A and B are shown apart, each in its own frame.
Chain A
């Protein structure tokens, strides 16, 4: 096991390095000048521009710049954001709580809905309940989040006026009024994300249950006189939840990156919105840091999912 973990980490490191080369390469190959904003400014003469270029090391070939960038990334020096003139690391970590609150909460709710619904719909296969949930999860999987988002806004924020349309980040969270307001403004974005994620998880839980239900050990459990309920919960669910747990782990990086549309629609000031605004402002240091963080999360959670699979399922052998 230890040997397997070490080998997996040794594979993960070159993967991450290659991804960082790709991200850096895309930016280095892209046309456009990082100092373009100075080009229109007559107060900065050519010589000064050349000097700025030199002080940033922009006159060096791109492999040199890559090595410099990656070493400072690893050291935690992520540079300064062009747009806010503050360190990128601060800008990014300011946004993390909002994203975690909204997207993380939605993911938790989705898990708590999807697992029981998936279990019931598999145990009562082809029942009315099963047909309804299968149909709904199909629809939920195809719903673009801007469609659900706009519809929820129209119904709950504009017509019913239950929740605010636009997310406010300046609430005072020490007062109870501020906390209620914060909870209220979280409802709609969370609902949009729950619809999306519940659909996929339910279908996966259901099919995993259906894979296990006809197996011999289930018949054995029934034969020794266990109640239906005990067979399902203590035997089938335990076995079918293993692949679902790994799927949940694999979905966690998407919690940070995948809510881009929802965050933009409701103006939640999270990481997804930061990415889009930084891209639009050509804020290269922030964009690179975010892209790199997202890739690290993907690689790390892939690793965690693999290891979890082995911990939960003793049949998995590490060779």
Chain B
């Protein structure tokens, strides 16, 4: 005789299943991300760089402006692991300090670009009509602006008046970050607009409207979390782009003041000594390259991990 499954058995089975750890959206994403080897490699490198730049200066206490005339333009040695520049300043201390600036420029500019892009994209996609037409025209207009020339021009023109008010280094930080962010929000706006247009017709939005949720809450509390994955990917890649823009500005001598050792600045200053001390420009240039490459790997991994259709 075949045993028929009893109610008790069924209850036991259900209880067993609920005891199992349930799979969440973000848990799944993390599981897929872990399998992306290059992305994991990139994340490890980035975490390592952030920690080094944060903790480094309190471990490596050499002052970045101290002159060591016994060793000018020296190769990497025990006292100066990354060598010294033409005045005998310690390159490790300078690179650590420059890394703080480069990374914080990247993150802050990304936040500005993503905030602008998300708000503009959300409003334009959700409201539609004339608002959408106007904002889409604005987006296309910004896409047609010559990015790098305009960045160079605005930073150059406004740096004196801004640094007068906010101080040399902080003022420069504010203007670089603002301009890089203001010239980089367009792709995010397009992505967010597209997802808002498709999401606003979903049932949960209808339900929210019926319950009487405020329009801004529908946009930012109900729809935005569902459009999060492409925004996260865009944000990651934007950090890399912003770091590159800052180093380009510094490299062309239009960025931070000469005595602020951002990575781009170190490359320019060192490039005059390429023949005698190639490590001076190449080490900071390699740092920029490794940072941007790792960020791009992370972005690529996130793109695959956050896409529920991909089965990594």
Contacts and interface: CB of A to CB of B under 8 A. Distances in A.
**Helix, strand, loop or mixed for chain B's interface?**
helix
A276 B271 CA distance: 18
A237 interface: no
Interface stretch (A74-82, A111-119, A141-149): A141-149
Nearest to B293: A142
B296 A142 contact: yes
Given A15-B141, A142-B292, 5 more contacts: A19-B144, A150-B278, A260-B252, A261-B252, A299-B144
Contacts of A264: 251-252
Q: Could you say which of B161, B248, B252, B254 has the most chain A C-beta atoms within 10 Å of its C-beta? A: B252
Q: Could you say which of B247, B264, B281 has the most chain A C-beta atoms within 10 Å of its C-beta? A: B281
Interface residues of B, number: 42
Contacts of B213: none
B274 A154 contact: yes
A194 interface: no
Interface of A: 15, 18-19, 22-23, 26-27, 30-32, 138-139, 141-144, 146-147, 150-151, 153-154, 158, 253, 257-258, 260-261, 264-265, 275-276, 279-280, 287, 290-291, 294-295, 298-299, 302
Contacts of A158: 274-275, 278
Interface of B: 38, 140-141, 144-146, 148-150, 152-154, 156-158, 160-161, 240, 244, 247-248, 251-254, 264, 267, 271, 274-275, 278, 281-282, 285-286, 288-289, 292-293, 296-297, 300
B267 A150 contact: yes
Nearest to A301: B144
B274 A146 contact: no
A295 B251 contact: no
Given A15-B141, A32-B157, A290 B149 contact: yes
A257 B148 contact: yes
Nearest to B263: A144
A232 B199 CA distance: 38
21 contacts: A15-B144, A27-B157, A31-B157, A32-B160, A138-B38, A142-B289, A144-B285, A146-B251, A146-B271, A146-B285, A154-B274, A158-B275, A257-B146, A257-B148, A258-B148, A264-B251, A276-B152, A276-B252, A291-B146, A295-B145, A298-B144
